[in-house]
Structure 1
Amino acid sequence: MAIKKTELYSSLWASCDELRGGMDASQYKDYVLTMLFMKYVSDKYKGDPYGMIVVPQGASFDDMVALKGDKEIGDKINKVISALAEENDLKGVIDVADFNDEDKLGKGKEMVDRLGKLVGIFEGLNLGDNRADGDDLLGDAYEYLMRHFATESGKSKGQFYTPSEVSKILAKVIGIDSNTPQDATVYDPTCGSGSLLLKASDEAPRGLSIFGQEMDNATSALARMNMILHNNATAKIWKGNTIADPQWKEANGQLKTFDFAVANPPFSNKNWTSGINPQEDEFGRFSWGIPPEKNGDYTFLLHIIKSLKSTGKGAVILPHGVLFRGNAEARIRENLIKQGYIKGIIGLPANLFYGTGIPACIIVIDKEHANARALSATGEASDIKSGIFMVDASKGFAKDGNKNRLRSQDIHKIVDVFTKQLQLPRYSRMVPLSEIATNDYNLNIPRYIDASEHEDLHDLSAHLQGGIPNRDIDALQAYWQVFPSLRASLFAPGRPGYSNALVKASAVKASILAHPEFTAFASASLQPFIEWSNAAALDEISVGEKPKDIIHRISEALLQGYEQTPLLSKYDIYQILMDYWAESMQDDVYVLVQDGWQAGKVLRELVAKKGEKLKETPDLVIGKNKYKAELIPPVLIAERFFGSKLRQIEQLQADLDSATQELESFVEENSVDEGLLSDALNDKDKVTAASVKARLKLAIDAEERKVLQQCSKRMDAESIAKKALKTAQDELDLAIFKHYSTLDEEDIKALLVDDKWLATLQSNIVAEIERVTQQLANRVKELEERYSEPLPAVTQSVDQLSEKVAGHLKAMGLEWSL
């Protein structure tokens, strides 16, 4: 049976738990990732004479398993890894972590137990059975670990990882597409663990030729492993300082040039001049200016521009300061703009990256059209749009712990807007170079795009004289276009420039929801989803398909389906699908493309290892046996095939709830303040069946006995109700258990596609439709409450109430005068 992504992720993270305590995340990541690598290459290539990795005798994961309990397990694991490394030219790559380090792993039995558990976790994973190679199951797992390691490592040690969401944007805005050939080259001079390079390569149908350089030895080793786990073993990753000692050179000694470049260099490097004299740079990288000695941001940008072919494209992540800082950086910026190298700038939210919390931007470089852009700056004819395209995407993100994270919809919107050069209010625009020149070549995005939230201004006249300002009502014009008669049902014309409310604020929401135009809107807004679900052919998923191709196909179709739907954001609808994909649907599809629809019949028995608890929550318990449904939750089978039994159980549950509530009320009423059940309290101050029976044997007072008997009767009623419910539930569970094996393919498709996937998505889209209309209701209610009583009316009311209070005080003999 195929392994699911979420199961793989949880197992990998569990392996980290075995190492926590002796070291921090920046250290134990090397152990976990090395173990993942060994398990993967052993499962995939052991015994394969044509494999990408040769697994010699004594160098496989099985040899590690054989070491469990061995007193010298740490040293012997090192030797197993070393043997694989020597055979495959991976010395310094997979043998970085020392599995015999007593300071990190403990001494004696502590080390033996810890490493034995670590090996045991990976032993339970069969990574060779997963046939969806094109989806990089292991590569994605590697990235999952990278994100968690970066999160735990903190600011000082998290720079090795660029969030995958940002990597996707860089990969998509530099022009790699379905026509890009495999021999096209992509370069990252500060490649870290290699995620940017891999995301760029993924955009081409057959990948790209990958080149990278990374200064940190351990991180460059991570990159090499990352490449192999993503089936890019031929990628070339060098170690070393890119600025002082660039490794990629032509035969003539000059820098090698590439078709594409992506980079997330260290922000504001304080010692970039170490080992180099910028004034005499042999590669001519600083002809447009020398960056400040204590700030190397432009150093990497200039290096990348020099490393691109004349038709090259690049994208670099840099702090916002590069857009507006003065002096030497201002001169470099002006020269680059005049040369036409900068195609666009994308402003990102703050706190996205693990090395820093400051906001950053993406600078997109286009050397192919640089001359044309430069000509446009001088006013001469140009065959491209004149200017730099700017995007302010700083407001689109979700909170994720102590970091911000770009959502799927944020990524899609940024890429759509940038690649199609769409100009959206308060989000994006093409800024003419002439306008930039008048601003002294300052590229600070807020100078050109006002993305600030508009202030909600109060109307003084409305507060004094009453009425709701028409300008506030007119601001909801997008709603009135969809609900043309709704405005007239909510507001009536008042004095010039103002309207009067026709519906009380408390009744606004109900009034809107009941309006026939809203009902029609809700129905029409669901129609694109219904059409999409009919065309998505989710019941035709077959073995061998690639899950990432499937989600791309269906998500793009859903996005397009909601292109013209008023009020609803197509990106919000898209996010609903992407969230559900990540949460549940992805796992289901991975199983289907590997094991087929018959996997829907599978109930996997859960068995815990001796001394351990079950790692998964069972879906069905039959006697003492516990089972996990591979694809279809038991409740869906109950609803489709055992509706009458399910209704019966619901009634029995209601009966039990009623009996329990009646008992609790009776006990509470008669046990407080020395009630007749007070003497039936046990040593834990609770009334139980045992304590009631014990008290009945001793009670003499007739009234007390009566209450005790009534309590016992209610307890018996609750017990009978519990037993009836359990019996019925056990009968239903057994019927469901037996029914799994009888499911045919049509049943499975109906249960999985209709009852699980589409029903969940439809429910979430209906909730989104209601959320949008709730925004209108909230705003109308807010306006009505704000201006419901003008100031004179409030003052008059206060005066009247003051007179009443004074009259009451006078009647009580408490009159006074000021």
Structure 2
Amino acid sequence: MATTQAALAPSTPKELKDTLWKAADKLRGSMDASQYKDVVLGLVFLKYVSDAFTERREAIRAELAGEGEEFIAETLEEVDEYTGSGVFWVAPTARWEYIATHAKGTQAGAGTDRQTVGDLIDAAMTHLGTDNTSLEGTLPRIYGRDNVDQRRLGELVDLLNSARFTGQGASKARDLLGEVYEYFLDKFAKAEGKRGGEFYTPPVLVRTLVEILEPHKGRVYDPCCGSGGMFVQAEKFLAAHDEDPTNIAVYGQELNERTWRMAKMNLAIHGMDSQGLGARWGDTFARDIHPNLVADYVLANPPFNIKDWARNEDDARWTYGVPPVRNANYAWMQHILSKLSAQGEAAVVMANGTMASNTGGEGEIRKQMLKAGVVSAVVAMPPNLFRSVAIPVCVWFFANDKTAGSKGSIDRSREVLFIDARESGHMIDRVERTFSDEDIHQIANTFRTWRGRASAEGEYADVPGFCKSATIEEIEQAGWAVTPGRFVGVPEAEEDEEPIDEKIERLTKELTAALDESARLDAVVREQLGRLA
């Protein structure tokens, strides 16, 4: 296949997004959203890996200019020359050029057997997993299956040939691919509706949690990690502060096999070690793959209100009470608390019902958690942050130590911060809300000032209608419910300089005029109905 001029130039994020979403459209209709998600994301990953390999290969050739051809040829096949520069080794038959050449299902390799393009891609995925330990058991091998339209797959490969992830250096290429990958996760989550929420948490929500916890260094854990968005945002936080991304080590677990594979690829794309996600997927309650982990930070968005879960009444994790049979919400929270180090902090997205429910002993568990002082803040979020689910959510923040120290200069050991952010953000269309940078800063800085952190701007003060630092005694008086609206009150009324007499006269005139107009319209409607009779 001839290489186009467009393939020689680096792609902009917009060009790549447009090109790759067109690629996804080529398979739409022949399979459902969850299937073509796996097909397209895996192929995008393969294209990036091959592009990065080719770029490194050309750099090696340039470095060895003037050396003998035999020496150059040998060096170009040295695995360490690639892996030592953070580039995956790609075997000859796994390279994009080879696959693209045979994308139309033409003869591949020696002998008389003909391979489909799907067979070639599956073989490439196998080679990548075998040759690169961090990718072992991660990449999808689904391209040769009967339900994948080989003609359309060949067209998809052809279209991807015009996209290029390199030409800007390895880190820039990874940033570009990361942006495209997250864009795809967002698009696929929307396409899959409610199911999409199981692997994808809105980036603005994740960023808010990370900006509050500020994970500069240590072990970051997510017991239901989905596609790995919490980890990626933690890495972005370090990048934004010009800090080494290896300052954090990530650990996670995911129940769904396909989602687990997505997470492993997502971490690989962002240059993060995915070994902490375990050798395979699994149920956190049935078999915790990190039983001895002590985490500095936990970020999680567990599935809400799970009714069928692996419950064991004698589980050592139930420090504050045994969770009910038909709801795992408080099981998730206690599991997370069991992982925290002495200075550890956690942020957990939860259903709003957790703030006041007394069903199945949940009220008593919540009471014991509050009395133990492990709840640091509760934030009520606005509805529509999750495109597929209109219901609002809340975020619980936990800390084993709220005294004055390294995590903040103000002792909050007998207080809980409540933030009512239900009016924050703005609608980007009729079904989805998002946060601006200012919204995220307002929420995060409120927490930072409350704890007295060095990163805080200004000093904390209760704001009627938005935030309140409540004592344990005040929470007890509220029946141990932690709905922020109960504590923050209502916003202060704006000052009105219009004299009361003038206001009454003005409003009376406006009301009279409105009633007169209503009567006029009523008469018109009755007249028109009379004509129809």
TM-score grouping bracket, smaller chain normalisation: 0.7 to 0.9
Q: Return the letter of the residue paired with 1:36.
A: V
Q: For 1:674-717, what per-residue CA distance to the aligned partner results, in whole angstroms no more than 9, with x for missing partners? A: xxxxxxxxxxxxxxxxxxxxxxxxxxxxxxxxxxxxxxxxxxxx
Q: Does the aligned pair in 2 maintain the 1:262–1:316 contact within 8 Å?
A: yes
1:218 match: 258
Q: Does the aligned pair in 2 maintain the 1:270–1:294 contact within 8 Å?
A: yes
Q: Return the letter of the residue paired with 1:64.
A: I
* Distance across 1 between alignment mates of 2:512 and 2:154: 76
2:168 match: 130
2:229 match: 195
Structure 1 residue 789: deviation in Å? 7.2
Larger radius of gyration: 1
Q: 1:212 to 1:355 in 2, by over 3 A?
A: farther
Q: Return the letter of the residue paired with 1:121.
A: L
Q: Does the aligned pair in 2 maintain the 1:159–1:355 contact within 8 Å?
A: no
2:68 match: none
* Distance across 2 between alignment mates of 1:789 and 1:154: 45
2:15 match: 7
2:438 match: 409
* Distance across 1 between alignment mates of 2:512 and 2:296: 69
Q: For 1:458-513, what per-residue CA distance to the aligned partner results, in whole angstroms no more than 9, with x for missing partners? A: xxxxxxxxxxxxxxxx8346xxxxxxxxxxxxx8x7xxx4248xxxxxxxxxxxxx
Q: Which shifted more, 397-406 or 37-46?
A: 397-406
- 2:392 corresponds to 1:359: yes
Q: Does the aligned pair in 1 maintain the 2:464–2:492 contact within 8 Å?
A: no
Q: Does the aligned pair in 2 maintain the 1:392–1:451 contact within 8 Å?
A: no
TM (norm. structure 1) is 0.52
* Distance across 2 between alignment mates of 1:383 and 1:415: 18
Q: Does the aligned pair in 1 maintain the 2:401–2:413 contact within 8 Å?
A: no
2:329 match: 297
TM (norm. structure 2) is 0.78
1:25 match: 33
Counting only pairs closer than 5 Å after superposition, residues 694-733 of structure 1 correspond to structure 2 as none
1:244 match: 286
- SS of equivalent residue, structure 1 residue 265: coil
Q: Return the letter of the residue paired with 1:498.
A: D
Q: 1:371 to 1:131 in 2, by over 3 A?
A: closer
1:475 match: 495
Counting only pairs closer than 5 Å after superposition, residues 113-512 of structure 1 correspond to structure 2 as 114-131=152-169, 133=171, 136-176=175-215, 180-181=216-217, 184-204=218-238, 205-207=243-245, 208-234=248-274, 236-238=276-278, 239-249=281-291, 255-272=292-309, 274=310, 276-278=311-313, 280-281=314-315, 284-327=316-359, 328-353=361-386, 356-369=389-402, 383-384=411-412, 386-401=414-429, 402-421=431-450, 422=460, 423-451=462-490, 475-476=495-496, 497-499=500-502
Q: Does the aligned pair in 2 maintain the 1:333–1:441 contact within 8 Å?
A: yes
* Distance across 1 between alignment mates of 2:428 and 2:250: 31
Q: Return the letter of the residue paired with 1:339.
A: A
Structure (1/2) with the larger helix percentage:
1
Query: How many percent of aligned residue pairs carry the same amino acid?
Result: 28
* Distance across 2 between alignment mates of 1:791 and 1:226: 63
Unaligned runs of 5+ in 2: 1-8, 58-80, 107-115, 451-459, 520-533
- SS of equivalent residue, structure 1 residue 187: strand
* Distance across 1 between alignment mates of 2:483 and 2:510: 45
Q: Number of residues paired by the alignment?
A: 446
Counting only pairs closer than 5 Å after superposition, residues 748-759 of structure 1 correspond to structure 2 as none
Structure 1 residue 221: deviation in Å? 0.5
Q: Which shifted more, 9-18 or 409-418?
A: 409-418
Q: 1:397 to 1:791 in 2, by over 3 A?
A: closer
Q: 1:26 to 1:784 in 2, by over 3 A?
A: farther
Q: Return the letter of the residue paired with 1:475.
A: E
* Structure having greater relative contact order (Cα 8 Å, sep ≥ 6): 2
Structure 1 residue 226: deviation in Å? 0.3
Q: For 1:506-561, what per-residue CA distance to the aligned partner results, in whole angstroms no more than 9, with x for missing partners? A: xxxxxxxxxxxxxxxxxxxxxxxxxxxxxxxxxxxxxxxxxxxxxxxxxxxxxxxx
Counterpart pick for 1:80 among 113, 124, 129: 124
Q: For 1:249-307, what per-residue CA distance to the aligned partner results, in whole angstroms no more than 9, with x for missing partners? A: 3xxxxx311111100001011122x2x522x22xx210210111110001111011100
* Distance across 2 between alignment mates of 1:34 and 1:476: 60
- SS of equivalent residue, structure 2 residue 166: coil
Q: For 1:653-680, what per-residue CA distance to the aligned partner results, in whole angstroms no more than 9, with x for missing partners? A: xxxxxxxxxxxxxxxxxxxxxxxxxxxx
Q: Does the aligned pair in 2 maintain the 1:260–1:308 contact within 8 Å?
A: yes
- SS of equivalent residue, structure 2 residue 366: helix
* Distance across 2 between alignment mates of 1:416 and 1:130: 35
Q: Return the letter of the residue paired with 1:388.
A: V
* Distance across 1 between alignment mates of 2:208 and 2:100: 41
* Distance across 1 between alignment mates of 2:403 and 2:49: 45
- 2:42 corresponds to 1:34: yes
Q: Which shifted more, 783-792 or 222-231?
A: 783-792
Q: For 1:714-755, what per-residue CA distance to the aligned partner results, in whole angstroms no more than 9, with x for missing partners? A: xxxxxxxxxxxxxxxxxxxxxxxxxxxxxxxxxxxxxxxxxx
Q: Return the letter of the residue paired with 1:322.
A: T
